[in-house]
Amino acid sequence: MIFIMNERMAIQDYYSDPMAHCYGCGRLNEVGLKFKSYWDGKESHASFKPRAYHTAFPGFVYGGLIASLIDCHGTGTAAAAAYYAEERDMGTEPELRFVTASIQVSYLKPTPIDTTLELRGKVKEIKGKKVTVEVELSANNELCARGEVIAIKIPDTMKITI
């Protein structure tokens, strides 16, 4: 299978400019988190160091950040997997970009704030415009949260209006 993706480039670096304003993962959102995901042809990976103020309680990350990272990682993984399934290089037209239809996150244990969080995504199913992605979030090699994102390909008609 031909699949060219520079492994040093994040999935989100391939998003077109109008699609790159997400507070979580948009490279053009000046104050956003600039979260980045990487695709190895089979799974997706990401790392994120929480800021000191991303607290739930002192010492632990608030759940909203964890949901945000899983969300961005899920839609990014969906995009990479969709290009891969079509045997197309990321960044080629027409752009394959996904939004979240639903997210579910189980918080398995308190997530420490003073370390780098590691995310891993796996595609559970690709069915038409829908990609289901399972995401695990770990800290210090301990699984802290598990999520599932149902991502839907943005229709071309919607992209025109953005």
Binding of residue 137 to a copy of itself (CB under 8 A): no
Which of 31, 94, 127, 160 lies at the binding interface for a copy of itself (CB under 8 A)?
A: 31
Binding of residue 122 to a copy of itself (CB under 8 A): no
Binding of residue 54 to a copy of itself (CB under 8 A): yes
- Between the CA of residue 133 and those of 25, 111, 137, 142, what are the distances in Å? 17, 21, 13, 20
Q: How far is the CB of 47 from a copy of itself (least distance, A)?
A: 17
Closer by beta carbon to a copy of itself, 32 or else 91: 32
Question: Residue 34: which of 77, 69, 79 has the closest Cα?
Answer: 69
Q: Which residue stretch of 16-24, 40-48, 79-87, 129-137 sits at the interface with a copy of itself (rule: CB under 8 A)?
A: 16-24
Give residues 79-118 in contact with a copy of itself (rule: CB under 8 A). Answer: 99-107, 110
**21 class by beta-carbon count within 10 Å (0-12 exposed, 13-18 middle, 19+ buried):** middle
Binding of residue 55 to a copy of itself (CB under 8 A): yes
Question: Residue 125: which of 148, 94, 145 has the closest Cα?
Answer: 148
Exposure of 99 in the CB half-sphere (CA atoms within 13 A): 9
Q: How far is the CB of 85 from a copy of itself (least distance, A)?
A: 23
